[in-house]
């Protein structure tokens, strides 16, 4: 067990790029904390709101929708409103000075339309619409994958609680068997092999209970991982 811990510690230190010789000590206090789960619908809602992949997919859909609006705007005429005022003063470099004081202003409306856009932009609008459909289908596919992943992990999460209760009962039975066998052994009513078997059963049940508690915590953090709420 110690050798296995050394191997896992080395792998973690290497993966996390920590200094050589770093020792990672697990927080065993987690085993004694009560893990409370949410309803499946709540986990699904968290995944929909927090999953980075879904957020990126939604953004891609919106970007393509804006691209369609942009390409459609190219099919519309461009209207410009122009207004200006200008004042010409006297020409002082002439002798005598020329009195050219003029003040004039104007207002105009300009319309520009690119007829080639009728042929070019229709294809661009069509392509942009196809991109929207593609983005929407990719979003729906990703949403289905995440929904399936949350559902599967939620079922495993509930199973881990069932396993925990089963192992707690197994420990209770193993303790009872160990106490009975111990009393019989003290009264010369049981063999040493019986005592060893009862001890091994008790140890095995205790180890399985710890593994069940670890599995509950692992399943809980896996739910937080898949919903991107870590």
* Predicted confidence band of residue 215 (pLDDT cuts 50, 70, 90): very high
Give the Å distances, CA to CA, from 41 to 83, 143, 150.
Answer: 60, 14, 10
Name which residue leads in pLDDT, 94 or 64.
Answer: 64
Q: Residue 67: is its pLDDT beyond 90?
A: no
Contact by Cβ (8 Å): 223, 150: yes
Lowest-pLDDT range, 2-11, 63-72, 103-112, 153-162? 103-112
Distance CA 82, CA 113 (A): 17
Contact by Cβ (8 Å): 153, 223: yes
Name which residue leads in pLDDT, 197 or 112.
Answer: 197
Quick one: what percent of the chain has pLDDT higher than 90? 47
Distance CA 198, CA 206 (A): 12
Q: Which long-range contacts (CB under 8 A, 24 or more apart) does 68-73 make?
A: 68/125, 68/128, 68/129, 68/132, 71/121, 71/124, 71/125, 71/128, 72/121, 72/125
Contact by Cβ (8 Å): 197, 182: no
Mean pLDDT over 94-104 rounds to 66
Quick one: what percent of the chain has pLDDT higher than 70? 87
* Predicted confidence band of residue 93 (pLDDT cuts 50, 70, 90): low
Looking at residue 90, its pLDDT comes to: 65
Q: Which long-range contacts (CB under 8 A, 24 or more apart) does 69-76 make?
A: 71/121, 71/124, 71/125, 71/128, 72/121, 72/125, 74/114, 74/117, 74/121, 74/124, 75/117, 75/118, 75/121, 75/122, 75/125
What are the pLDDT digits (tens) for 114-136?
Answer: 766 666 667 777 888 888 899 99
Mean pLDDT over 43-62 rounds to 90
Distance CA 35, CA 161 (A): 10
Distance CA 138, CA 55 (A): 12
What are the pLDDT digits (tens) for 193-203?
Answer: 999 999 999 99
What are the pLDDT digits (tens) for 11-36?
Answer: 999 999 999 889 998 877 776 777 87
Q: Tokens representing 201? A: 């059963």
* Predicted confidence band of residue 88 (pLDDT cuts 50, 70, 90): low
- Whole-prediction pTM: 0.69
Mean pLDDT over 91-104 rounds to 66
**In the chain, which residues fall in CATH 1.20.1600.10?**
34-226
* Predicted confidence band of residue 216 (pLDDT cuts 50, 70, 90): very high
Tell the CATH superfamily of the 34-226 domain: Outer membrane efflux proteins (OEP) (1.20.1600.10)
Looking at residue 92, its pLDDT comes to: 63
Helices and strands, counts by H and E, the chain? 5, 2
Q: Residue 79: is its pLDDT beyond 70?
A: yes
**What one-character DSSP code corresponds to residue 32?**
G
- Mean of pLDDT over the chain: 85
**What one-character DSSP code corresponds to residue 28?**
G
* Predicted confidence band of residue 98 (pLDDT cuts 50, 70, 90): low
């Amino acid at each position: 067990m110690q050798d296995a811990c050394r191997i896992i510690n080395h792998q973690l230190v290497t993966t996390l790029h920590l200094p050589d010789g770093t020792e990672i000590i697990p927080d065993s206090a987690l085993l004694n904390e009560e893990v409370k789960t949410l309803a499946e619908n709540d986990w699904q809602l968290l995944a929909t709101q927090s999953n980075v992949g879904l957020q990126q997919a939604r953004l891609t859909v919106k970007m393509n929708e804006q691209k369609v609006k942009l390409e459609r705007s190219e099919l519309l005429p461009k209207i410009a409103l122009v207004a200006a005022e200008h004042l010409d003063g006297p020409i002082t470099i002439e002798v005598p000075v020329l009195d050219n004081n003029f003040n004039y202003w104007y207002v105009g409306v300009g319309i520009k339309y690119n007829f080639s856009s009728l042929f070019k932009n229709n294809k661009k609008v069509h392509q942009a619409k196809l991109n929207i459909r593609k983005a929407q289908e990719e979003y729906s596919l990703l949403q289905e994958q995440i929904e399936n992943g949350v559902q599967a992990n939620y079922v495993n999460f509930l199973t881990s609680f069932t396993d925990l209760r089963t192992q707690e009962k197994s420990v209770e039975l193993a303790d009872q068997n160990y106490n009975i066998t111990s009393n019989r052994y003290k009264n010369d009513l049981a063999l040493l092999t019986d005592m060893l078997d009862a001890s091994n059963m008790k140890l095995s049940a205790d180890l399985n209970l710890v593994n069940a508690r670890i599995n509950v915590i692992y399943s809980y953090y896996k739910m937080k991982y898949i919903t991107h709420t870590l």
